[in-house]
Amino acid sequence: MAGSCCPVTTVFEHSNSLRETPLDVPDPQWVLANSDCVATAGEVQAGIAAVAEAINRDFAGQILRVAPLLNGALPFAGMVLPQLTMPVQVTALQVGRYGLHTRGQDLEWLSPVPDVRDETVLLLDDVLDEGITLTLVRSALLAAGASRVISAVLVEKNPLRSKPIQADYVALTLPDRFLFGMGMDAFGWWRNLPAIHAVREVDH
């Protein structure tokens, strides 16, 4: 059902066994079984539809360059793009961060910096938490000549926390937990879930 969470218990029961893996890379079925659904597939779809509607209203008659951040924003982009009514060009961006500080040079471009001169860029990301990566990418696109860079995120955590950037469009506001599904991963797994889950803290 579109409005329900993924069948955690069913998936768990169909697993033949729980492999013993290092604590830093748990078995994916164990992770899913020990999680809480915090946004159903229906809630995700409704939030994305609201974002698309707002973008259509705000940029009616304009042209956008849509730039999803890989890999997390892929499912978000795949759902929002068909709902946009203006002409768009799509350029996926892949970046990495290294080092412990927030200096601009900590952003590593793993894909070419696109030619965005005089363009309005819609930056898509899966989650806004600390906001560092989104801030650095936005600054880099403006430095590359974009006339304007706006951002839409699937999830914002801690909306009251001070961040260097505020997303222009937010589909869902969720608790400050380890989230996965809809592009977000848990130890590399479950980006493909249509709902969003949070890893459950296990008492030892």
- The domains of the chain are located at 8-199
Q: Is the pTM of the predicted complex or chain greater than 0.75?
A: yes
- Listed in sequence order, the residues at least 6 apart from 72 whose beta carbon sits closer than 8 Å to its beta carbon are 125, 126, 127, 183, 184, 185, 191
CATH architecture type of domain 8-199: 3-Layer(aba) Sandwich (3.40)
Which of the 8 DSSP states describes residue 203? P
Task: Please tell me which of 4-8, 10-14, 170-174 the model is most confident about, judged by mean pLDDT.
Answer: 170-174
pLDDT tens digit sequence for 106-144: 778 898 889 999 999 999 999 999 999 999 999 999 999
pLDDT at 150 (0 to 100): 98
Edge to edge, the sheet with strand 35-39 lists: 35-39, 196-199, 179-180
Cα dihedral 72, 79, 178, 98, rounded to 10, equals 20
pLDDT at 97 (0 to 100): 66
